[in-house]
Structure 1
Amino acid sequence: MLFALSAYTVSKSRITEHIYQHYSGTFKLIGEGVARHSGQEREQWLSAIERLSGLSFEAQYFADKQLPDKQLRKLLKDKFLFVVDKELVTSKAYILLPDEQSYLSVQVDDYGTSLVRISAFLMLNELGRHRSEARLEALNRLKELYSYPIELVAMSDLAISASNLRTIKKGDVAVVLNISGATTSNMMAYAPIGNSRFVLKLGMIPLFDWLPLSHLIAAIAFTLVAMATAVFYLVKPIERRLAEVDDKIVAIAQDKEMITTDNAPSDAITKLSNTVDSMALRIQRLLAAQTDMVRAISHELRAPITRVRFQLVMLQEAKQPNQHAQGIEKNLDELEKLIDEVLTFLKLKSHQPELTFEAIDATQLIKQLIKTHAPAHSNIHIDMAINSHQPMLADQHYIFRAAGNLLLNALKYAKARIEIGYQKDADSFILWVADDGPGIPEEQRIDIFTPFKRLDASRARQSGGYGLGLSIVQQIAHWHQGTISVVDSNYGGTLFSIRWPITEVSNAHC
């Protein structure tokens, strides 16, 4: 916008300067010609000028207020005023009349050959009014009015084309254009002086160049500088913000505390920065979880190893070694079970297997669960609650594992009763296990799916387990695009339910 405004102002100023420099003498001669004539003679003289130049003069009065006061004052001072219109397409010249109460206005559409022709005719008219020595004085005065050379040359000395020479011999003005791409284009005008052998030579007269080479170079330089400046001020903040992202990545690599960025603009770099923040937070959580897992595994391993060591000492001193040997075997079984649980959990966390969705009879699945896990808990009564006879769509192996973990968890804490149920609503399959155990406080429910997390260490130690069963259930539910929730059961204990969408598994099944 600023560049366009500057270009407009410069072009307007250059047109005005070009006219004043090369053609102000022309309009002054018209003013003097008007002043020398009056009445009918003035009209005839102006008509002749209009025919020769193709221009149309119009008389206007100061009282009409056609011009602003500032322009009127300039017209009174210089006897001539030139104004370029807003579109830079045409211009108007104003010539003060002798009474200084009126002026002539003329529209100028051509800043080249037309003005040169009328200039030549006016010069011939001025020279024709004088004789011998007075004509030379008039020629010298013309030279003062114009910025370009004016001289008398013998027709025989002209180095012009034959067609231009014929034009001169006919009594017309010949205008010769010299168009050059490397330098400023110009014109030469040749006007015959009556029947004499002399010709009035005008020029070289510069043609108005809308975009001269110097201005073009300046415009390109200005554009390049403006673009470089804009790029600098655009890239600098981006570079600074990318450096901040780089610092975050370095902080992650060096395990240093990372500073998050607030109130950043919403763009691609902010999105990248937020992604790095999320990645760093996830890495920190994974590292923390890994540390907790190693600590928990170490703790879990320490207890059976300590018991094995103790029983080995007792075995050396015992009179009945078989009893202590059985204890050692039991603790080794516990270690093997722990290792198996850890490996299973790590396998489930490391990658998502390719699930095989199939129609499963819920009744048969629950009966198989009870048959597998109930015999070891004969004091617990297990009910079945099948609210829908439509089969569930799931991966049989993993859904059996998830439901089995929920049942085992309920068997650990139930007092006398457990309910296993299934239903299908409009958009979901739901499988649940409820017990009449002590329940889980609401504020602690968020922690029960954390690996190796025990809400009550003494109760957990008594009931067994390693805190991995519910984490595995949560992972399997996630693979089925579902969720696991925990609420109070109707029996006073806890109800765990797995819910997964029909649409997701149906699409996967297809």
Structure 2
Amino acid sequence: MRRTLADSTFLRVYATLLLALVLTFGLAMMGYLMVDQVRREYYRERLATTPMALLTTLLTEVQPVERETWLQRQSERLDMQLSLHHREEQDFNYFQRRRLDDGRPLVMHDSQNDWHLWRQIPGEPYLLKVTLSQLSGQQLRGLVDSLRDWLEALEAPEAPLKALVDKQSLPITLSSTPPETLDSHQRGRLNDGDVVLQWMAERGSISAHARLVSPQDGALRWLKVGPVYAFDTMPLTLTLGLVLVSLMVLAGAIYLIVRGVETRMARLEKAATRIAGGYLDTRVKVESSDFMGRLGMAFNGMAAQVQSLLRAQQEMIRAVSHELRTPVARIRFAVQMVEDMTEQEAVRRQLKGVDGDIEELDQLIDEILTYARLGSDNASGVSLETDSVDCRAMASRVVDALASLYPQITIEVVSGEEIEVVAEPRYLQRALQNLVANACRHADSRVSINLSRDARAVRIDVEDDGPGVPESDRMDIFKPFARLDNSRARRSGGYGLGLSIVQKVMLWHGGSVVVDDSRRLGGARFSLLLPVSVQATRETPA
């Protein structure tokens, strides 16, 4: 069945990537056009700088009463319209006025495809306006001819020419040797007084040459204006730069899209990991109705069902164990009555054995209740009531409690620094007592408790000098009712729940229990690993 865009994660990711691609392409095109427009305006300004600087310089040397005639003559000579305007009469914006104040030309284009060039007359409130429809060779020849006439009228043209060059960006040179790049025909025209234009096709540039004759001594000099390069729409380096920026923007957009999907998957993975660790109250936050949202809802439903089934199982085990206590108590009471009524030694020995079996059954019920309580509280998300625990004092209490039960075993606490940890005192002591009791049942003569800590964890090692635990069985011994020899009548006793309770207690505290070989005593070494800072409450759901 086809799914809509809102319900399909694949379609949403695909559509988002497509949208990111379209937007990136649009931004790249917009950036290309903007850069090209800026470059065109800069190119036009550079082209306009030289003629406007020359014309304003020439205009300042003309008497005010003769300016109108001079402007008309130059208009005919240059094939462009020159006019003079008062600055206050023009409606320029702030940026245009700033450009004029900086001595830069102002280039404007109207709807009739005409170009208007403006420049401030130095030291005067007037603006020179040049209007033209297109650039032509006649205009370039006329400008160079006007520049030549101006320089020939000066006794020392070098300084005024340098001042003019400093006002604009077009190369202008005055040399005492004729140009060598011209052919014989062009040199002949140059000697006849013409302005010669030299086009360099391979470079895409044009230069203007003219001969100057000094009016004082008749010395010859050669004037060169240019080269003026044609506008390059977009250099390769700039194009590659725009492509690179576009790819980076696209890569960033794709990263954000994929990162969003990965973040949601990571939350689901974190929740699954917590549930695998026994935190069955963990739930995933559902933010949408797409595939990931439906997966989160299914995951939450599965977790709720597992939690409900486990809670029901634990409640049943707890109820059955509680119900067993009543008949066990009646049997014990009956055995005690029979024992009080008889004096026969054989009967008393049998009754004592029955009483021992009843005691074992009572202890088994207590172990089952403890195991069920831990599982039920963990499944229900019950918080730990933690407090600061003195580990060395706790170990001493465990030794005092078990020393009388195992008089043939030497139980010692290795001396060392005082160590405190934040934990649930009753359950942590129960876990340590189970480990020490297990070690006493398997030890030959010695059991040792060693406490240590580092920057991340507190470690409590319980070692014995018994036969140890085979490496292949070290994962199975923490399972409920697990026996290494599959027998419930072995000499060491036990019910197979003690180590399971230890593991549940440690998982509930965010720690772990591991088993390996004891290098010091030669038997097994069980280690409780507790984080240095155990949280007082359960973590919030993912």
Band the TM-score falls in, shorter-chain normalisation: 0.3 to 0.5
TM-score (normalizing by structure 2): 0.39
Structure with more relative contact order (C-alpha pairs < 8 Å, separation 6 or more): 2
Larger Rg, first or second structure (1 or 2): 1
TM-score (normalizing by structure 1): 0.41
